[in-house]
Chains A and B, each alone.
Chain A
Amino acid sequence: MSLDRREALRLIVALSVAACSAPPPPLALPPRRHAAAARQIGQAWLKAAGVMTDAQALADALGAGAPAEPAAFTAWIRERHQADLAAGRTTQVDGWLLSLTEARLYGLYALLP
C-alpha cells in the first residue's frame, strides 16, 4: 500500500505509540493515490462491523513494530495482509472480503483527521 507523507506519518505515529517505540524517522513515501477510497471503505467497515472507533485501539490491533521507512512499512502491511488471508483472519464490508489488516488500516484512515 502506498501512503502519502502526512497520512503515513499519522499512522506510523499511532503504531509507534502502540509499540512504545521511538518516534519514526522522517518518511519519504510515494504519494497515496486513493486515500479517499481507503477512508470510504474504512468508514463502511467501522459502521458495519461495530468495531472500535478509537484510533489508538485500532492501531494496537493492527500490531506493533511498524517500520518507519515507507517502503518497509508498505511491505510490513502487505505481509500482515497476506498472513491474515492464509490464516483466515478476514472480515467483510458489504460482502467484500478483506484481510483484518487492510480493514483496520482503512479504519484508521477513516478515524484519523
Chain B
Amino acid sequence: MIVEASAIEPGSHLEADVCVVGTGPAGLAIADRLAGGRRQVLVLESGGLKPDPAVQALYAGDNIGRGYFPLDACRIRGFGGSSGCWAGLCRPLDPEDFEARPYVPHSGWPIRRADLDAWYAEAEKFLGLRGPGWDLARWSTKGAAPWTFADARIASTFFKLSKPVRLAETMPGPMRAAENIRVVLGASLVRVGLAPGGGQVQALHVRRTRGEGGFTVAARKVVLACGGIENARLLLASDDVQRGGVGNGHDLVGRYFMEHPHTDGEGLLLGSPALPSPAFYQRHTRLGQPIWGSLGLTAEARAQEGLLAATLVLLPRRDAPRALEEPMRQVMADTDAPDRPLPEKGVAFTFGTPSEQVPDPESRVLLAGERDRLGVPRVRLDWRVSAVDQRSVARTHAILAEALARSGFGRVRLTLTPGQPFPAHTGGGRHHMGTTRMHADPTKGVVDADCRVHGLPDLYVAGSSVFTTSGSANPTLTIVALARRLAAHLDEALP
C-alpha cells in the first residue's frame, strides 16, 4: 500500500521487519524484491508521487570544491528518486574495477564482479533491459560491428539503453499491490537514533515533510537508500550518540566522494576513407534492445600505463572545421586509402569520455552550519579531481589516436594534455559515489561486503555511496544489482 505521512498519527511508533529509506532505484529494487514475501516492509519517501519544488529545496547545499551542479538540481527527492532524471545508460562494472590495483590508491572491493553476476541479471530485468548478457559477439551484426584495431590496447564495449524506466511511473502499482509493503510518502528521515552505547539502531526519527509532527520507526533491519550525497548527510547529521555521526568511528563517512568527470567534446576524430562503418558506436537496436557502442582501453593496457578507466563514446562534432583539417583529410587518405576516392565530405566525431577517479579522502561531503526547514544540517560538497584523473583521460585519448592512425581509420586532433588540468567545462554525470565506501576493514570503509555499516548489525546502506571505486560505467545498473543482492541478504538474515 501507499499512504501519506499525514495519515499517520503524530508521535506514533511504527514497526517493521525491514525499513527502507528512499525510493530511488536502490530503495525500490529492494522493496520490489521483498514484495509478496514474508517480511513486513516499511518504505519511507520524503517526497510524493509528483515532483514538488518545496521538497526538492531540502536538497539545496553548497559546492566548495570543483564547479558542480547545484545540489538540488542533480538528484530528485521524490518517489522514483533520480530515476526521474536518468539517461538510461546501463553497463556493468568491469571485473578489474573490483580488484585492488597497485597504481590506484584505496582500490579493491571486498567482493568480485563474479559475486554480482547473478544480481546484474536481475537488475537488467528490473530496469527493463533485454537480450543475452554482455558478450560483444552476440551484439555485433554485419551492418553494425565493433571496429577491429591493429592495436591490442583498444577494446569495444557497449551500453544497453533502458527506456529509461521512470520508477515514479512503473512502481506505484506494484507497491500498492504488495500486501507486505507499506510506502509512506511525505516522510522525511531526520535522524538515525542509536541505542545508548551506539551498538544498534534504536529508532528512526521521521518528520512529515509538509506540516508539523512526525513519528518514529523501529525495524529489525534498516536500509538507507537516499543517494550518494544524502546517505552520508544523514549519517553525519545523526551524531547525538556517536560523535561525528553514525558509522563514522574512523572519520570515513562522506569521504572519497567520486564522480565520473565528463570531458565531452574533447578530441576530434577525422575518419579516413578506410574507417569502417561507425554504426555500432551510434545508438541502434539489436535483438530488440537499444544499445550504444563505446571504446576504451583493455585492462592490460591500463595496468601497463597505470591508467584509470575511461569510456569513449563518439559524439557529433559541433565546432567549425579547424585550419589544418582539410589538408589532414587529404594526406590521411593518401596514406590510409590511396586507391579509394576522397569523399567530398569528411567524417568527424568528437569524444564523450566519462572517466574514473582515484578515490580521494579529501573529496568529500560535509555538513554546513545552516539547517533545512526540517532541522537537518545542509550539505556541503567538496569535489576534487586529481592529476592522475586528468592524465588518465589525456593519455587514453592519445593511445586511441595512435591506434586509429595505426589501423588506418583516421587521425585525431588531441585537445587534452597530460599534466594539464581538465578544461573548466569538465563536469560530472550526476553520479554520486563512494561516500559510504565498502571495505572489509572498518578502518578503510563504512560498510562491509554485505553493505552493512561496520559495528552496527541492523543498519545497511544501498546505492552508489557504497562503491569502493567507480569504474567508468554509469552506476545505475550496479546500484540495482547491489540492491537486489542486499534484499536477498536481508531476507536470509532475518529469522
A-side residues, CB < 8 A to B, are 1-2, 30, 32-34, 36-38, 40-41, 44, 74, 77-78, 81-82, 85-86, 88, 90, 92-99, 102, 106
Q: Per a CB cutoff under 8 Å, which of A34, A74, A98 touches B330? A: A34
Give bound CA distance, A46 to B398, whole Å. Answer: 21
Contacts A94-B322, A96-B324, A96-B411 given; indicate if A102 touches B331 (C-beta within 8 A): yes
Interface contact A33-B330, CB-CB below 8 Å: yes
Determine whether the beta carbon of B415 is less than 8 Å from that of A95. Answer: yes
Among B150, B151, B327, the one with the most A-chain Cβ atoms within 10 Å of its Cβ is B327
Asked whether B398 lies within 8 Å of A2 as measured between CB atoms, the reply is: no
Chain B residues with CB under 8 A of A78: 335
The answer on a CB contact under 8 Å between A95 and B413 is yes
- Judge whether B405 and A99 touch: CB under 8 Å: yes
In the complex, B406 has a CB within 8 A of chain A: yes
Q: Which residue of chain B lies nearest to A39 when distances are taken between CB atoms in the complex?
A: B327
Given A40-B327, A41-B327, residue A97 in contact with residue B405 (CB < 8 A): yes
- Are A2's CB and B334's CB within 8 A? yes
With a cutoff of 8 Å between Cβ atoms, the chain A residues found around residue B117 in the complex are none
Contact A33 B342 (CB under 8 A): yes
Offer 12 A-B interface pairs, CB within 8 angstroms, sorted by A.
Answer: A1-B338, A2-B338, A37-B326, A85-B405, A86-B402, A86-B406, A88-B402, A94-B413, A96-B324, A96-B412, A98-B411, A99-B405
Residues of A within 8 A of B327 (CB): 34, 36-38, 40-41
Q: Complex: how many Å from CA A102 to CA B272?
A: 15
Say which residue of B324, B338, B401 sits within 8 Å of A40 (CB atoms): B324
Starting from the known contacts A37-B330, A96-B414, A97-B413, 12 additional A-B residue pairs (CB-CB under 8 Å) come to: A1-B338, A34-B330, A37-B331, A41-B327, A81-B405, A85-B403, A90-B398, A90-B402, A96-B411, A97-B398, A97-B401, A102-B335
- Complex CA gap A90/B406 in Å reads 11
Cβ of B328 under 8 Å from chain A: yes
A36 to B330, CA, bound (A): 9
Rounded to whole Å, the gap between the CB of B297 and the closest CB of chain A is 14
Chain B residues near A82: list those with CB within 8 A: 150, 406
Considering only CB atoms, which chain B residue lies closest to A34 in the complex?
B330
* Residues B412 and A41 in contact, CB atoms below 8 Å apart: no
| B493 sits at the interface (CB 8 A) | no
Chain B residue with Cβ nearest A92: B414
Q: Contacts A33-B342, A82-B150, A85-B405 known; A1 to B334 CB distance under 8 Å?
A: yes
Nearest CB on B from A40, distance (A) = 5
B residues in contact with A95, CB < 8 Å = 322, 413-415
Most chain B CB atoms below 10 A, which of A30, A44, A85, A86: A85
Residue ID in chain A nearest B413 by CB atoms:
A95
Q: Which residues of B contact A86 (CB under 8 A)?
A: 151, 402, 406
B333 at the binding interface (Cβ < 8 Å): yes
CA distance A102 to B406 in the complex (A): 12
Q: Is B7 an interface residue (CB 8 A)?
A: no
Looking at the assembled complex, report how far the CB atom of A89 sits from the nearest CB atom of chain B, in whole angstroms: 10
Q: When the two chains form the complex, which single residue of B150, B338, B413 contacts A96, counting CB atoms closer than 8 Å?
A: B413
Contacts of B324 on A, CB cut-off 8 Å? 40-41, 44, 93-94, 96
* Least CB distance, B415 to chain A, in whole angstroms: 6
Q: Complex formed: what's the CA distance from A36 to B413 in Å?
A: 20
User: B323 at the A/B interface (Cβ < 8 Å)?
Assistant: yes
Q: How far is the CB of A81 from chain B (nearest CB, A)?
A: 7
For A102, the closest partner residue in chain B by CB is B335
Is B331 a contact of A41 with CB atoms below 8 Å?
yes
Distance between Cα atoms of A45 and B406 in the complex (Å) = 20
Count chain A CB atoms within 10 A of each CB in B330, B331, B338, B406 and give the residue with the most. B331
- When distances are taken between beta carbons in the complex, the residues of chain A under 8 Å from B333 are 33-34
**CB neighbours of A90 from chain B (8 A):** 398, 401-402
Q: Which 4 A-B pairs have the closest CB atoms?
A: A37-B327, A34-B330, A37-B330, A85-B406
Q: How far is the CA of A36 from the CA of B415 in the complex (A)?
A: 26
B residues less than 8 Å from A93 (CB atoms): 324
Report how far A33 CA is from B337 CA in the complex, Å: 12
CB distance from A79 to the nearest CB of B (A): 11
Closest to A85 in B: B406
B 405-427 to A, binary, CB cutoff 8 A, 1 in contact else 0? 11000011111000000000000
> Which of A92, A94, A99 lies in contact with B323, CB distance below 8 A?
A94
Instruction: With both chains docked as a complex, state the minimum distance between the C-beta of A106 and any C-beta of chain B, in angstroms.
Output: 7
Closest to A74 in B: B338
CB of B411 within 8 A of CB of A97, answer yes
How far, in angstroms, from A99 to B411 measured CA to CA in the complex?
A: 10
CB distance from B343 to the nearest CB of A (A): 13
Residue of A nearest to B338 (CB): A2
Residues of B within 8 A of A94 (CB): 322-324, 413
Report the nearest B residue to A83, measured CB to CB.
Answer: B406
- Say yes or no: A97 contacts B331, CB within 8 Å: no
Contacts of B398 in A (CB 8 A): 90, 97
Q: How far, in angstroms, from A88 to B326 measured CA to CA in the complex?
A: 25
Which B residues are in CB contact (< 8 Å) with A34?
Answer: 327, 330-331, 333-334, 342
